[in-house]
Amino acid sequence: MAERPKAKPTVQVDNDRVVVTEWRFAPGAETTWHRHGYDYVVVPMTTGKLQLEDGKETRFADLTAGVSYYRPVGVEHNVINANDYEFVFVEIEFKTPIR
């Protein structure tokens, strides 16, 4: 199997409370396997489909630009752009618990 291109992260904010990262995926690009150390929210900037691998199953998520979703700490996965165009989202990780 050919190696996939890597998604390109750009950290926009990194302070005591949050990390905000823009992720840009060329067609077929992946994040590579990673585990989230914080609760996080993803804000899709593009409408399209992402392939999600968690080690047990592969599934697809249809995302809509501007429609955010939340995931808790500890999620381990690989995210792959399943579109034939660039896919972009912004990820906001919460370093401190929300009060």
- Which pLDDT does position 2 carry in this prediction? 72
- Which pLDDT does position 99 carry in this prediction? 62
- The β-bridge partners of 77 are 34
Instruction: Report the number of distinct structural domains present in the chain.
Output: 1
Query: Which residues form the domain of 28?
Result: 8-94
Cα–Cα distance between 57 and 77 in angstroms, integer? 10
Residue 56 lies in a domain: yes
Residue 31 lies in a domain: yes
10-residue stretch averages of pLDDT, the chain, 99 residues long: 90 97 98 94 98 94 97 92 98 84
Residue 20 lies in a domain: yes
- Which pLDDT does position 96 carry in this prediction? 80
CA atoms within 13 A on the CB side of 24: 6
CA atoms within 13 A on the CB side of 30: 13
Residue 99 lies in a domain: no
CATH number of the domain that residue 13 is part of: 2.60.120.10
- Which pLDDT does position 75 carry in this prediction? 84
Residue 29 lies in a domain: yes
pTM for the structure as a whole: 0.91
CA distances from 38 to 1, 57, 83, 92 (A): 32, 23, 27, 9
